[in-house]
Amino acid sequence: MNGYSAPVRDMRFVITELMDFAALKALPGFEEVSEDMVDAILAEAQRFSGQELAPLNVIGDREGAVWEDGEVRVPQGFIDAYRKFVEGGWNGVSSDPAFGGMGLPQLLAAATQEMWQSANMAWALCPLLTAGAVQALTLHGSEEQKALYLPKLVSGEWTGTMNLTEPQAGSDLSVVRTRAVPEGDHYRISGQKIFITWGEHRMAENIIHLVLARTPDAPEGVKGISLFIVPKFLLDENGNPGQRNDLRCVSIEHKLGIHGSPTCTMAFGDAGGAIGYLVGEEGRGLEYMFTMMNEARHKVGIQGLAIAERAYQQARAYARERVQGRPAGYPGGGRGPIIHHPDVRRMLLTMRAAIEAMRGLAYQAAAHFDFAHRHPDVDVRRAHQARADLLIPVVKGWCTELGVEMASIGVQVHGGMGFIEETGAAQHLRDARIAPIYEGTNGIQANDLVGRKVLRDRGEAMQGLLAELDGIAGNASNALQAPLREAIAQLRQATDWLLEHGAADPAAAQANSHHYLMLTGYIIGGALMARAATIADTALESGSDDVFYHNKIALARFYMQQLLPRAQAHAAAVLAGADAVLELDVEQF
């Protein structure tokens, strides 16, 4: 079982070379951001994630969170690590300095988020949800609510949750039944929510629940849902936690993975109604909550990347140490480490190339957030927001699907020892498996990509992306250009098919939306690998002899030969249409 050391050189390359770092620094509020600052943040985050969080990962898996009479006991070391996290200011890397945040780019925050999730995904889910609450209140809360809640949420002294799902609702939030009855300047909240990540714990002095509920005269469907702030402890006249609110954790789930993270069933209003405060206007709760959900979906995509990186580091270390057989072409006599076996090399390179493509995509989406929020030109902001909206379901869906696959390959590299819990390889696979499910299953992400992001604007946002991909391919080396151009043509053809058939037959569009999402991910990933190789070529031609740049070119070539061909299969499935998917009646299954 190995530790974790964040790949800061690769992260720095994406931030300062693969992305347009000069344009990022020119955005209002980012004038003081420099490469030296990036280096300092990455180095300290590497230290904290490796020394404070990573050693607790296996402890959290083995001990798990424990529910006792409404209280949740977290694994050994989690509380102390969280205290140090708050003291270091890590909870507010990209938050507004007006509320105590660092005000740094979300592009840089994405790198720190990757580190927390790689080091200890179960623990890191707590600040992940808090970041979503901060985003929702920043955009939709009143000035009074911002003043009351944001400073403590940004610092991490208080944590945040989102309470959406109910036993009968699942992902269909239109049937939410939790009630909110007006009473003076607040509401009385009653109902039950399930699958509430970090809904109860003692790591922070207060938990701020954001809860979806219906007022008594609300219409049926999504238009009847409102959003409420429901603190665990009500605030006193000085804004400090005081009386316990009427809410409690009635149980926690026993799960396949992320054992250290309590997944709670929350009961509101057993003793008359929990006090809650309306966010924004009645009936717009789901709209507001989507702000928080999109923030979370991006970070869940980063979890797929992060778990893949952690699994790769462990598999690489094991392959270097495990001696078995005499590998074909092995220069030494006798047996050698399994990393010399061609098939093991293939598996490790598959993991590494997929990780680099995922990192490029996830960080690119974060950079679009920065431009969408800060660029002075409104049209430029809108264009970047449209691109971010297009990418979010791909980041969440493609990266988490690959995260599971790469964690599984990590087990395979270990052979039989990977199936044994003591090596730790199995934990990464178990932890990774939740990511394609929560924050909207990947089927929901695929339907969102096809329905809302492609069909709704008649492919305008996707056509803009395709034009950019064409430009990247045009600048690529000859060895990379041909396969990339062919793949882009497949995405264009699949998009045209959806535009022709999807609007008239939504079922046909959704039947293979998964394949369209995966197709999009593999091609964007390939384009970013080609761009990285072009940058590396330029560096080498300028006199650098850094093996790092040679590696970028080799990995791009491997991606084009071994991973990009998967795009063709996904494109073929889209173009085959929906007949085979929809042919059987439900009774025939």
In order, the DSSP letters of 252-274 are E---SS-TTS-EEEEEE-TTS-E
**In sequence order, what are the residues at sequence separation of 6 or more whose Cβ sits closer than 8 angstroms to the Cβ of residue 551?**
none
Alpha carbon of residue 146 to chain centroid: 25
The confidence score (pLDDT) of residue 118 equals 98
Angle at CA of residue 545, ends 542 and 546, nearest 5°:
110
pLDDT tens digits in sequence order for the chain, 589 residues long: 679 999 999 999 999 999 999 999 999 999 999 999 999 999 999 999 999 999 999 999 999 999 999 999 999 999 999 999 999 999 999 999 999 999 999 999 999 999 999 999 999 999 999 999 999 999 999 999 999 999 999 999 999 999 999 988 777 777 789 999 999 999 999 999 999 999 999 999 999 999 999 999 999 888 899 999 999 999 999 999 999 999 999 999 999 999 999 999 999 999 999 999 999 999 999 999 887 788 889 999 999 999 999 999 999 999 999 999 988 888 877 889 999 999 999 999 999 999 999 999 999 999 999 999 999 999 999 999 999 999 999 999 999 999 999 999 999 999 999 999 999 999 999 999 999 999 999 999 999 999 999 999 999 999 999 999 999 999 999 999 999 999 999 999 999 999 999 888 999 999 999 999 999 999 999 999 999 999 999 999 999 999 999 999 999 999 999 999 999 999 999 999 999 999 998 899 9
| Residues with catalytic function | 439
For residues 68 and 70, give the distance between their C-alpha atoms in angstroms, rounded to a whole number: 6
The angle, 0 to 180 degrees and rounded to 10, between the axes of the packed helices 513-541 and 460-475 is 30
Q: 330: helix, coil or strand?
A: coil
With 0-12 CB in 10 A as exposed, 13-18 as middle and 19+ as buried, what is 254?
exposed
Tokens 């329905």 found at: 451
How far apart, in Å, are the Cα atoms of 454 and each of 408, 528, 577? 32, 21, 17
**Helix ranges (DSSP H) in 32-175:** 35-48, 55-63, 78-87, 106-119, 121-140, 143-155
Condensed to tens digits (0 to 9), the pLDDT of residues 53-110 reads: 999 999 999 999 999 999 999 999 999 999 999 999 999 999 999 999 999 999 999 9
C-alpha span between 64 and 71 (Å, rounded): 14
Q: What is the pLDDT of residue 356?
A: 98
> How far is the C-alpha of 105 from the C-alpha of 109, rounded, in Å?
6
Give the burial string for 268-296 (b: 16+ CB within 10 Å, else e): bbeeebbbbbbbbebbbbbebbebbbbbb
- pLDDT at res. 1: 62
Q: Angle of helix 121-140 relative to helix 285-321, nearest 10 degrees? A: 150
Q: What pLDDT sits at residue 399?
A: 98
Contacts of 409 (CB under 8 A, 6+ apart): 311, 315, 347, 350, 351
Q: What is the pLDDT at residue 172? A: 74
Q: Please give the structure tokens belonging to residue 559.
A: 């991606």
185-200 CB burial, b ≥16 within 10 A, e <16 = ebbbbbbbbbbbbbbb
Question: Measured between alpha carbons, how far is 392 from 364 in angstroms, rounded to an integer?
Answer: 10
